[in-house]
C-alpha cells in the first residue's frame, strides 16, 4: 500500500494536505475506498481507508494502528561537511534508507559549496523533502531531521547533550572505528562528523577533539570519497550494534 506522512491526526481518522494530498490525488490517482498507510513521525503506523477527497484535504478513516520495530535503537546522526552537486542529496537519501536519525550540514574550511541566508533555508527544505520521500520508500515510521546549516561552534546546541562524537579522519592510523565503538554506549546518540571533498583541515579535527570530545577514527586503509565515507560509517555503526545484517 502507498504510504503518506500525516498532516493532522484525530482519534479515528487522519487528514492529508499540501504535497501529500496532491501526490495521492494527482500522481497516484487514488479514490475513496482505497487503502493506504500513514505515519506521523511518532513511531506509529496507521492503516486506513480513504473516506473523502476535497479541494485541500483528504480524510482517511483509521482501521488499525501498529508500532513496527523498524527504527534503529542506536541513534546515529551524520554531521556532513557541505558537498557540491548531488552528493548531499545522495547521502541524505541513502542515509535515511540505512536508518540515520538526522543530518547536520556543516560549514567547513575546504567545502566547495557555500550556503548562507535564504539559500541555505531553501536547500534544507529540499533536503528534508528528500529525507521524507526516502523514509516512505524504506517503510520507516520516523523520518530523519535535516537540521539548519551549522558552524562548528553550533554543533553542541544542535544535537543532544549526551551525544558521543566520532570523526573519521584519513590521517588517523591507530584507532579503528570498530575498536572505538566497543567503548561507546549504544543507547546514547552517536554523531559521525564527515569531511567534504577536500577533507578536514587538521585544526578542525583538533577543535572537534578539544571542544566536543570527539574521537578520531579510521575507516580502513583506503581513502574514501566524502559520500562513501558517510554511508559506510553509518552502516558500520548500525551493523556493529546489531541493527543491520
Q: Give me the tens of pLDDT residue by residue for the chain, a chain 245 residues long.
A: 899 999 999 999 999 999 999 999 999 999 999 999 999 999 999 999 999 999 999 999 999 999 999 999 999 999 999 988 789 999 999 999 999 999 999 999 987 778 788 989 999 999 999 999 999 999 999 999 999 999 999 999 999 999 999 999 988 989 999 999 999 999 999 999 999 888 899 999 999 999 999 999 999 999 899 999 999 999 999 999 999 87
In this prediction, residue 112 carries a pLDDT of 73
In this prediction, residue 115 carries a pLDDT of 79
Kindly give the pairing relationship between strand 35-39 and strand 3-5.
Answer: parallel
In this prediction, residue 209 carries a pLDDT of 96
Q: Are 213 and 243 in contact (CB under 8 A)?
A: no
The hierarchical CATH code for the domain 3-66 is: 2.40.240.20
Fold of 76-240: Alpha/beta knot (3.40.1280)
CA 194 to chain centre: 14
What are the distances in angstroms from CA 151 to CA 79, 80, 82, 158? 11, 11, 11, 10
Question: Which residues lie below 8 Å from residue 54, measured CB to CB, with a gap of 6+?
Answer: none
DSSP code for 170: T
* Residue ranges of the chain assigned to CATH 2.40.240.20: 3-66
How far is 148 from 143, CA to CA, in rounded Å? 16
* Residue ranges of the chain assigned to CATH 3.40.1280.10: 76-240
In this prediction, residue 110 carries a pLDDT of 82
How far is 4 from 34, CA to CA, in rounded Å? 13
The residue written with cell numbers 555503526 in the block is: 237
Proportion of the chain in helix, strand, coil states, percent, rounded to 5: 35, 25, 40
Concatenating the DSSP letter of every residue in 37-48 gives EEE-SSS-EEEE
Amino acid at each position: 500500500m502507498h504510504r503518506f506522512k500525516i498532516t493532522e491526526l484525530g482519534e479515528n481518522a487522519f487528514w492529508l494536505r499540501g504535497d501529500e494530498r496532491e501526490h495521492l490525488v494527482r500522481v497516484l490517482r487514488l479514490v475513496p475506498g482505497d487503502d493506504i498507510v500513514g505515519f506521523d513521525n511518532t513511531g506509529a503506523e496507521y492503516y486506513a481507508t480513504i473516506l473523502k477527497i476535497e479541494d485541500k484535504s483528504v480524510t482517511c478513516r483509521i482501521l488499525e494502528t501498529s508500532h513496527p520495530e523498524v527504527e534503529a535503537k542506536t541513534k546515529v546522526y551524520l554531521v556532513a561537511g557541505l558537498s557540491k552537486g548531488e552528493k548531499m542529496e545522495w547521502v541524505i537519501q541513502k542515509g535515511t534508507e540505512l536508518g540515520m536519525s538526522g543530518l547536520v550540514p556543516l560549514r567547513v574550511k575546504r567545502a566547495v559549496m557555500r550556503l548562507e541566508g535564504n539559500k541555505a533555508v531553501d536547500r534544507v527544505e529540499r533536503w528534508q523533502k528528500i529525507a521524507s520521500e526516502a523514509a516512505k520508500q524504506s517503510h520507516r515510521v520516523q523520518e530523519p531531521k535535516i537540521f539548519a546549516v551549522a558552524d562548528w561552534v553550533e554543533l553542541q546546541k544542535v544535537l543532544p547533550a549526551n551525544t558521543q562524537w566520532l570523526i573519521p579522519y584519513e590521517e588517523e592510523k591507530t584507532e579503528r572505528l570498530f575498536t572505538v565503538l566497543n567503548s561507546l554506549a549504544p543507547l546514547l546518540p552517536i554523531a559521525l562528523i564527515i569531511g567534504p571533498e577536500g577533507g578536514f583541515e587538521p585544526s578542525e579535527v583538533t577543535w572537534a577533539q578539544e571542544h566536543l570530545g570527539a574521537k578520531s577514527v579510521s575507516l580502513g586503509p583506503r581513502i574514501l570519497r566524502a559520500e562513501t565515507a558517510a554511508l559506510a560509517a553509518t552502516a558500520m555503526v548500525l551493523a556493529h550494534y546489531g541493527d543491520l545484517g
